[in-house]
């Protein structure tokens, strides 16, 4: 059998979420995402709180600002480039604390950072290296503590902090099984031990035939990624491309509750995942399962917003009013397992300085920008649930 060529590698669909008051809903919401919908414009500050954290800049601390995880005390950042640098910042002030780099070929070193999971309670961070199918554990000073392999025949791309003893993971090896019948009893969402990586619980989402975010043409395969695990204010929204249903997982009851359903789609299939979920709005992200191998373009995406008040689905346009000329906010970025945070966005210092000079900023953002120059590190914007 010929080895298949990979034409597109993991265009990350990054999302992050929270949930409203009544999670175990009795009336299912079903939406048709294949039809045309009107656009709805909402102002972020009308329904969320916003916090800005300027990352301290120094000769040693120069970062592109890819936020990996946020706790109550620390904020972990890396660069987009695979240089191995991990920056530890103070969560409240953005003050630089230390820079860690354990990249290498040794037994205690990672060669790529697929994700970093912060565990402040145990003073640990977990560096997931999907290429090596291994997770490396360090203390927050960068000292190696242990490592463990992904369980046999698994490939974890998405790993988040679940509780004091476990991580929650999604096994992306399913991406190689498009169109196959599901192996009886096989789960792709799991909890694994923080001590040795052993599976402590499988979370089974019901479906029969495997659907993946992959398009095949001859020996070519184009692949994207649909976010399968979304933190949900103490609970978890779980997604699998093979199912039209998004489930809410309730840890205390070990219970899976149907949360959201999309009407079936085909030719092409449209895949659904979730963004932030507030008391009024559910933010949805869709990916069209089609790819043009000639042009190298495909997997077209749309952002939607379901309004619980009107029971209608709209194309979402969320605007940040701290810019005089309001700018769009991405409600689907990297999931952070912090119950108060719904979304995280990195703002370029250069763009903020330019806006400040043109008197284009307001409030706290204007104050932050006044202390920046074009060479400053980015500013981290936290979108938080209102108390």
Confidence of residue 14 (pLDDT cuts 50, 70, 90): very low
260 exposure class (CB count in 10 Å sphere: 0-12, 13-18, 19+): buried
pLDDT at 3 over 90: no
List all residues 6 or more positions away from 128 whose beta carbon is below 8 Å from its beta carbon.
113, 114, 115, 116, 117, 135, 156, 159
Instruction: Find out whether 229 and 189 touch, Cβ atoms under 8 Å.
Output: yes
Q: Which residue has the tokens 């860690």?
A: 100
For residues 101 and 77, what is the distance between their CA atoms, to the nearest angstrom? 12
Residue 101 has a pLDDT of 97
For residues 382 and 209, what is the distance between their CA atoms, to the nearest angstrom? 38
Task: Give the C-alpha distances (Å, rounded to integers) separating 14 from 114, 200, 378.
Answer: 13, 26, 19
Residue 363 has a pLDDT of 95
Domain 9-385 falls in which CATH fold?
Methylamine Dehydrogenase; Chain H (2.130.10)
CA 230 to chain centre: 7
pLDDT at 304 over 90: yes
Domain ranges for the chain: 9-385
Instruction: Find out whether 307 and 281 touch, Cβ atoms under 8 Å.
Output: yes
- 98-146 tens-digit pLDDT: 999 999 999 999 999 999 999 999 999 999 999 999 999 999 999 999 9
Confidence of residue 267 (pLDDT cuts 50, 70, 90): confident
Phi and psi for 329 in degrees, rounded to 5?
-120, 135
Cis before 268 (ω within 30): yes
């Amino acid at each position: 059998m010929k080895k298949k060529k990979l034409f597109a590698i993991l265009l990350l669909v990054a999302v992050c979420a929270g949930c409203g008051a009544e999670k175990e809903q009795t009336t299912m919401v079903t939406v048709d995402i294949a039809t045309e919908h009107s656009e709805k414009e909402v102002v972020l500050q009308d329904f969320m709180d916003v916090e800005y954290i300027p990352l301290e800049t120094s000769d040693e601390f120069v970062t592109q600002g890819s936020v990996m995880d946020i706790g109550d005390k620390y904020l972990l950042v890396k660069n987009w480039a695979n240089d191995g640098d991990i920056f530890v910042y103070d969560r409240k002030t953005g003050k630089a604390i230390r820079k860690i780099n354990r990249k290498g070929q040794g037994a205690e070193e990672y060669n790529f950072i697929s994700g970093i999971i912060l565990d402040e309670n145990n003073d640990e961070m977990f560096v997931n290296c999907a290429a090596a199918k291994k997770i490396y554990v360090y203390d927050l000073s960068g000292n190696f503590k242990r490592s463990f392999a992904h369980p046999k025949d698994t490939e974890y791309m998405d790993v988040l902090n679940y509780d004091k003893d476990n991580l929650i993971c999604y096994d992306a090896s399913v991406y190689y099984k498009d169109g196959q019948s599901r192996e009886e009893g096989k789960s792709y969402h799991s909890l694994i031990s923080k001590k040795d990586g052993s599976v402590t619980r499988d979370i089974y989402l019901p479906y029969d035939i495997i659907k993946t975010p992959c398009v095949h043409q001859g020996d070519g395969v184009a692949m994207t990624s649909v976010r399968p695990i979304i933190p949900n204010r103490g609970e978890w929204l779980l997604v699998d491309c093979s199912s039209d249903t998004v489930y809410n997982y309730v840890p205390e009851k070990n219970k899976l509750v149907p949360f959201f359903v999309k009407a079936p789609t085909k030719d092409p299939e449209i895949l659904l995942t979730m963004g932030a979920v507030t008391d009024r709005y559910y933010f949805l992200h869709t990916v069209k399962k089609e790819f043009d191998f000639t042009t190298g373009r495909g997997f077209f995406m749309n952002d939607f917003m379901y309004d619980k008040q009107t029971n209608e689905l709209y194309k979402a346009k969320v605007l940040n009013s701290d810019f005089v000329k309001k700018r769009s906010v991405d409600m689907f970025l990297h999931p952070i397992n912090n119950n108060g945070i719904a979304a995280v966005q990195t703002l370029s210092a250069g763009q903020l300085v330019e806006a400040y000079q043109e008197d284009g900023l307001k409030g706290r953002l204007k104050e932050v920008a006044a202390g920046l120059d074009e060479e400053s590190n980015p500013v981290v914007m936290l979108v938080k649930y209102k108390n």
